[in-house]
């Protein structure tokens, strides 16, 4: 088996929604959405809602834990063009450190919560988020913030 064709990896605390399932998926040429998040892998209601979005875009969707993604993604078929979506920078860091070949990490929506500061219009981070993203970037991954495919990419090093 060769390296899986991961066309893009995105951190978005909403995971798969209209913007991800339609706009981003078609923009990057994906035919499979892979949601890698431990909580979502166990939540059937969330899976049903996200599956409806994937169905409307004509792409497949899978819901795996971080550990299953690490152990299984290398078995992907060459015809699978994978858009990998995670909820947090911590999920992304675990994947990279687990050997998942992520070359680009797009930071999408990271909503405000206690202890987080605004980094861009739609991106709020705490120190742990920043540390995790630095570690991913230090591992050689191109990490950038970009809300939609038409927006300008902001290199993570410019804001953290």
Q: How many domains does the chain have?
A: 1
- Report if residue 157 sits inside a domain: no
In a domain, 45, yes or no: yes
Stretch 65-82: mean pLDDT? 97
Q: Is residue 140 part of a domain?
A: yes
Assigned domain for 133 exists: yes
113 within a domain of the structure (yes/no): yes
Domain annotation covers residue 47: yes
- Tell me which residue range forms the domain holding 94: 5-151
CATH number of the domain enclosing 60: 3.40.35.10
Q: Average pLDDT in the 112-122 region?
A: 94
Tell me the average pLDDT across 93-111: 97
pLDDT band at 1 (very low <50, low <70, confident <90, very high): low
Q: In Å, what is the CA distance from 102 to each residue of 7, 9, 53, 73, 146?
A: 9, 7, 24, 11, 17
pLDDT higher than 80, residue 152: yes
Say yes or no to pLDDT of 21 above 90: no
Is 159 domain-assigned? no
pTM for this predicted structure: 0.95
Q: Does the annotation count 81 as an active-site position?
A: no
| pLDDT score, position 136 | 98
Q: For the chain, what percent of residues have pLDDT higher than 90?
A: 91
CA dist list (Å): 99 to 33, 39, 88, 102? 19, 21, 17, 8
Over the chain, what is the mean pLDDT?
A: 95
Residue 158 in domain: no
Q: Report residue 48's pLDDT band, with 50, 70 and 90 as the boundaries.
A: very high
CA–CA separation, 11 and 135 (whole Å): 15
Q: Which of 17, 81, 103, 111 is catalytic?
A: 17
């Amino acid at each position: 088996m060769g390296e899986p064709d991961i066309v893009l990896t995105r951190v978005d605390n909403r995971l798969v929604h209209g913007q991800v399932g339609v706009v981003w998926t078609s923009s990057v040429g994906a035919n499979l959405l892979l949601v890698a998040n431990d909580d979502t892998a166990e939540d059937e209601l969330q899976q049903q809602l996200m599956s409806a979005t994937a169905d409307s875009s004509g792409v497949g969707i899978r819901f795996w834990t971080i550990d299953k993604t690490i152990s299984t993604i290398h078995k992907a078929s060459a015809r699978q063009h994978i858009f990998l979506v995670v909820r947090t920078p911590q999920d992304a860091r675990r994947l990279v450190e687990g050997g998942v070949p992520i070359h680009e990490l797009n930071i999408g929506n990271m909503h405000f919560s206690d202890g987080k500061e605004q980094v861009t219009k739609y991106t709020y981070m705490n120190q742990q988020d920043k540390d995790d993203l630095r570690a991913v970037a230090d591992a050689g991954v191109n990490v950038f913030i970009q809300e939609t495919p038409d927006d300008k990419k902001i290199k993570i090093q410019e804001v953290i």
